[in-house]
């Protein structure tokens, strides 16, 4: 299905753990009255995580996630916000906007320390942000004109990002009505 058949846009929010995906997705979904899907939470609930890796994270059964979400995210209704720290396994046709959240090393370090991440996991995630792993993955998986990198260090950034996204949704609706 092409995006112009949807009545509302679907938004993917991706980024390194701790960059603020859930914080942004929760507020945005409330303000826009969109459905919010946190893939990590879904995977835990539905038991889509197999084999525990050394860092305590399971390996996601990506096919099961896609099958589970196809009815909702692939429907003609749209208006879904999906968030996950990965983006290359979702069908490209699902999304009209792909948001990559970026956070400074210092902020990310503090946030992940506050989460109690062990030193190695913390370092791996900070490296993931420094090397722009998710931004690169997004560029390899989606068209450049739907990808938007947004800085997410401060509460002011959060406010600005909400404003930016709401105006992007407004524009999309005008262009696709
Ligand atoms: N723009 C921001 N400014 C300041 N703190 C933020 C911002 N976004 C998120 N946070 C804080 O950072 C932590 C991680 O945010 P969270 O939304 O859980 O990240 P993610 O979903 O990407 O793992 C939380 O404590 C949250 O309150």
Is the distance from the beta carbon of residue 78 to the nearest atom of ligand 1 less than 6 Å?
no
pLDDT digits 0-9 by tens, 65-99: 999 999 999 999 999 999 999 999 999 999 999 99
Q: In percent, how much of the chain has pLDDT > 70?
A: 94
Separation of alpha carbons 161 and 116, rounded Å:
27
pLDDT for 54 equals: 52
pLDDT at 2 over 80: no
Confidence bin at 118 (pLDDT 50/70/90): very high
Question: What's the angle, vertex CA 22, arms to CA 78 and CA 154, rounded to 5?
Answer: 120
User: Which two three-digit tokens encode residue 10?
Assistant: 């679907």
Question: Ligand 1: which of 13, 19, 23 to mutate, most ligand atoms within 8 Å of CB?
Answer: 23
Q: What H or E segment, with its residue span, contains residue 13?
A: strand 11-14
**Complex ipTM:** 0.99
Is the distance from the beta carbon of residue 161 to the nearest atom of ligand 1 less than 6 Å?
no
pLDDT digits 0-9 by tens, 9-59: 999 999 999 999 999 999 999 999 999 999 999 999 999 998 765 555 789
pLDDT for 53 equals: 58
Neighbours of 152 (CB within 10 A): 24
- Cα of 109 vs centre of ligand 1, distance in Å, is 12
- Cα of 126 vs centre of ligand 1, distance in Å, is 14
Question: What's the angle, vertex CA 72, arms to CA 67 and CA 78, rounded to 5?
Answer: 135
- Cα of 47 vs centre of ligand 1, distance in Å, is 25
β-bridge pairing 58-60 and 49-52 = antiparallel
Is the distance from the beta carbon of residue 15 to the nearest atom of ligand 1 less than 6 Å?
yes
> Is residue 15 a known part of a binding site?
no
Separation of alpha carbons 170 and 167, rounded Å:
5
The mean pLDDT of 95-108, rounded to a whole number, is 98
Of ligand 1's listed atoms, the one at least distance from the Cα of 15 is 22
Sign of CA dihedral 176, 11, 94, 42: negative
């Amino acid at each position: 299905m092409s995006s112009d058949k949807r009545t509302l846009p679907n938004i993917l929010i991706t980024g390194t753990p701790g960059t603020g995906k859930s914080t942004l997705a929760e507020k945005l979904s409330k303000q826009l009255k969109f459905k919010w899907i946190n893939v990590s939470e879904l995977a835990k609930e539905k038991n889509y995580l197999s084999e525990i890796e050394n860092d305590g994270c399971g390996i996601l059964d990506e096919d099961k996630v896609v099958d589970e979400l196809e009815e909702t995210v692939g429907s003609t209704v749209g208006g879904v916000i999906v968030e996950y720290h990965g983006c290359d396994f979702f069908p490209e046709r699902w999304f009209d906007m792909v948001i990559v959240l970026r956070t400074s090393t210092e902020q990310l370090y503090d946030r992940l320390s506050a989460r109690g991440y062990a030193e190695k996991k913390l370092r791996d995630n900070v490296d993931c942000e420094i090397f722009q792993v998710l931004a690169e993955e997004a560029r390899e998986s989606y068209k450049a004109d739907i990808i938007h990198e947004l800085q997410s260090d401060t509460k002011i950034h959060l406010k600005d990002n909400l404003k930016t996204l709401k105006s992007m949704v407004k524009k999309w609706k005008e262009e696709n009505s």
